[in-house]
């Protein structure tokens, strides 16, 4: 378990398609805006739904600013290779990277 910057996360995601990006914010937050190709598993559901994470070599976790995704890393670290994205979607947007909304 570790922590990386948004820039490092973007580089990893662009270079390795086996990495899964998981947004642990609420469903409403995710619907309002999220990173393309990310999946949503809210933090309060992560332990019950972690079966969705099987088969990925690396899992990057993010939330609004990094607190919830850090908590998710702690919950998952014994089962998966997980990394927290420091700064979350807030920093992602500040750096000008793309987000999308549910239709």
In a domain, 15, yes or no: yes
In a domain, 73, yes or no: yes
- Pick from 17, 97, 95, 26: nearest CA to 60: 17
CA–CA distance, 16 with 19 (Å, rounded to integer): 6
Q: Percentage of the chain surpassing pLDDT 90? A: 89
In a domain, 20, yes or no: yes
Domain range holding 66?
Answer: 2-94
Q: Percentage of the chain surpassing pLDDT 70? A: 98
Residue 102 — very low, low, confident or very high, per pLDDT cuts 50/70/90? confident
51: domain CATH number?
A: 3.40.250.10
In a domain, 10, yes or no: yes
Q: Provide the total of helices (H) and of strands (E) in the chain, helices listed first.
A: 4, 5
With 0-12 / 13-18 / 19 or more C-beta atoms within 10 angstroms meaning exposed / middle / buried, residue 37 is: exposed
pTM: predicted TM-score of the whole model, two decimal places: 0.95
In a domain, 102, yes or no: no
For position 17, what pLDDT does the model report?
87
For position 1, what pLDDT does the model report?
63
* Number of domains composing the chain: 1
């Amino acid at each position: 378990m570790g922590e990386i910057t948004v820039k490092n996360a973007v580089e990893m995601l662009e270079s390795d398609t086996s990495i899964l990006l998981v947004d642990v914010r609420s469903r409403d937050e995710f619907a309002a805006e999220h990173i393309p190709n990310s999946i949503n598993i809210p933090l309060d559901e992560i332990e019950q739904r972690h079966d969705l994470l099987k088969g990925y070599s690396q899992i990057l976790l993010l939330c609004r600013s990094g607190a919830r995704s850090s908590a998710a890393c702690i919950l998952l670290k014994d089962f998966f290779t997980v990394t927290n994205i420091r700064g979350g979607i807030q920093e992602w947007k500040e750096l000008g990277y793309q987000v999308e909304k549910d239709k």
